[in-house]
Amino acid sequence: MNGAGAPLSERKGMAHVSGTVQEAPEVVGGPPEQPSRGAMRALRDVGALLIRQREATVFVVDVLLIIYFGFISSVGRHAFFTHTNQITVTQLAAPIIIIALGEVMLLICGEIDLSVGFTYQLAPFIMFFLINDYHFPGLLAILIALLCGPVIGWFNGFLTVTMGLPSFIATLGTAFVINGIVLTTSHAQQESIPPQVHGIAHWIGQYAWAEITWAVILTAIFHVLLIRTRWGLHTVATGGNLLGAREAGVSVARIKYGNFMLTGFLGAFVGLQIAFQISIIDPTSGGFTPMFYAVAAAVIGGTAMLGGSGTIIGAFLGGILLAILTNGFSVIGISANPLPIIFGGAILLAMIANVQLTRLRERGRA
Amino acid sequence: MTDQQHQDPPAPSADGDVLRVEHISKKYGAVTALVDVNMHLERGEVLALVGDNGAGKSTLLKIICGFQPPTSGRILLDGQEVTFTSVRHARSLGIDIVYQDLALVNQLTVYENMFLNREPVRWPLLRKKQMRKEAQEHLDSMGIKTLKSVDLKVASLSGGQRQAIAVARSVFSEAKIMLLDEPLAAMGVKEGALILDLVRDLKEQGMSIIIIAHNYGQVFPVVDRVNLLQGGKITFDKYSRDTSVEELTEIVVAEYRKALEERHRAAS
């Protein structure tokens, strides 16, 4: 059982990536419940899987929510699976997921980035200024706008790793500074998307399915990065045992700098996506909210805040969960006001599960 | 390098020394932690370094493993003078320090820990199958059989198993000299026996080992020679066949009495 544990989880994880999003309706029939002689054993295996694999738990919750909003609720039955609503859900989920990918890597190596939502705010303005004021070609402007993410990430790494500030404080500082830069340079005015980038804008965020497609692709890439590469292994080692990793010769500074830069890149990317999606460059978009949603998705998905553990697939499913909840409530016409209570509850439950299941697991395996 | 021509050359021995520490002193500001320490480690020998807290054991260890440079003195590895720039550098020259808790990452599996920072890669992916297989083979070859699987997370292992994995990893990295810092700390008798067996096996395979131990009685059966550190100096150097746990205890107790008397004198 133990011997097969790791590869199983990997295969399972990859199945989730391709399985959950576009094909959500089919997935509903997934869990095998038919009564047969193997039923008891199957049930027990499912139970064991739920305890061992955090992603499986979140996956089941996602499916249950889809069943509820899509089939059980009398209002939702007619509205939830409409084409428009499917796109709405994915457009809610995608930015949360993409930012969460970076936050998971950071949380695993023992850091957090509170500023990523402001990199999101800044990136489309950089693109706009380069095209409008400096007459850069569109593609180059987009590339530079994307690069501003890693640059901010590098600065966060500098403050955290080299200057020794706690990342919570360091990135809080950069968050406000970037916000100020955006408001000052834009005079707090919205801008429209320059015509030079209209073509590529479709591929980045304007096509209905563009965002979620990017989210799935990036999730797959980050999952492989975390599970299958030295970078991922060293990220876990850095967060799990900083001294030990350093002793073994792992360059923990490089790992932290790198993950801040990755997160910054993802923030800039999401910023461009949203700007293209809504066809407006808005100085009030982004901010702390998407970052907190992303951290919530990561935590719900099973990433511990203590470093050393976390899953990309979990964050993906956590992002889906938050999106379905947000959308489902509005679809079935319940006021969105109590929604934060449910979010808060979900985060707390997830965190309790994180802590308690980890204990259980460690005791069980000893 | 100032007090080089001080005192006689280090203890009796010949070219068999895999490691020699000559006239090592270490000062932290006004505090002197080591005073002109001479120590040698013979090839294939198990040397116990014992002494009270603050006697300089860990300072000496840190110098030998490359964690910090000495204030003066030199280190010879296989007769060649070396200056370690880092733990990593020392490790690359075959000196590896094994900490029980520091070394391993709880959240990683046994095989991932054993390969940490030496992972085989078929770019950009890790060769996990190869890692698993080689880690298992390596543990088998060392006779470490207490693990159910190399896929276990280190968090789920007992203290003895962890120490065994840490030692195995060190051997795996082709260390020639192994420094074990309190290898039996917080370990039961059975678990301790596992580690002592491991030390014996390693010695048979030609590894040279320095064991830092508080509880010298426990490690005495596997040790070839004992060095006692007192107040930053090595005051005692005997083969274990020429000494006994009792003799060591006497020395330590005498030191304890002296310290007590001094304190009384200072108080009055």
| pLDDT tens digits for range B16-39 | 789 999 999 999 888 888 999 999
Q: What is the pLDDT of residues A282-339, one digit of tens each?
A: 999 999 999 999 999 999 998 988 889 899 999 999 999 999 988 988 888 877 788 8
Among residues 203-262 of chain A, which lie with CB inside 8 Å of chain B?
224, 228-230, 233-234, 236-237, 239-241, 243-245, 247-250
**Scanning every residue of chain A, which has its alpha carbon at the shortest distance from the alpha carbon of B128?**
A228
Burial of residue A37 (number of CB atoms within 10 Å: 0-12, 13-18, 19+): exposed
Please tell me the distance from the alpha carbon of residue A163 to that of residue A152, in angstroms, as a whole number.
15
Smallest CA–CA distance, residue A51 to chain B, in Å, is 16
Rank A30-39, A218-227, B114-123 by mean pLDDT and report only the highest. Answer: A218-227
E strands of chain A, at which residues? 191-192, 280-281
Structure token pair of residue A74: 């009398």
Q: Are A273 and A210 in contact (CB under 8 A)?
A: yes
E strands of B72-199, at which residues? 72-77, 80-82, 95-98, 121-122, 125-126, 177-181
Is ipTM strictly over 0.90? no
Phi and psi at residue A301, to the nearest 5° = -75, -5
Please tell me the distance from the alpha carbon of residue B252 to that of residue A229, in angstroms, as a whole number.
51
Across the beta sheet with B177-181, what order do the strands follow? B95-98, B177-181, B208-213, B46-51, B225-230, B233-239
Residues of A within 8 A of B88 (CB-CB) are 249
Q: What is the pLDDT of residues A144-173, one digit of tens each?
A: 999 999 999 999 999 999 999 999 999 999
Percent of chain B with pLDDT over 90: 35
Residues of B within 8 A of A302 (CB-CB) are none
**pTM confidence score:** 0.82
Q: Which of A241, A247, A366 sits opposite B106 (nearest CB)?
A: A241
> Beta strand B225-230 with B46-51: parallel, antiparallel or unpaired?
parallel
SS3 of residue B178 by DSSP: strand
Residues of A within 8 A of B87 (CB-CB) are 247, 249
User: Among all chains, which residue has been given the structure tokens 């895999």?
Assistant: B18
Q: What is the pLDDT of residues A114-130, one digit of tens each?
A: 999 999 999 999 999 99
Q: Which of B96, B100, B116, B122 to mutate to test the interface with A (most CBs of A within 10 A)?
A: B116
> Beta strand B72-77 with B80-82: parallel, antiparallel or unpaired?
antiparallel
Q: Do B117 and A234 touch (CB under 8 A)?
A: yes
Residues of A within 8 A of B99 (CB-CB) are 244, 247
Within 13 Å and on the Cβ side, how many CA atoms surround A260?
Answer: 29
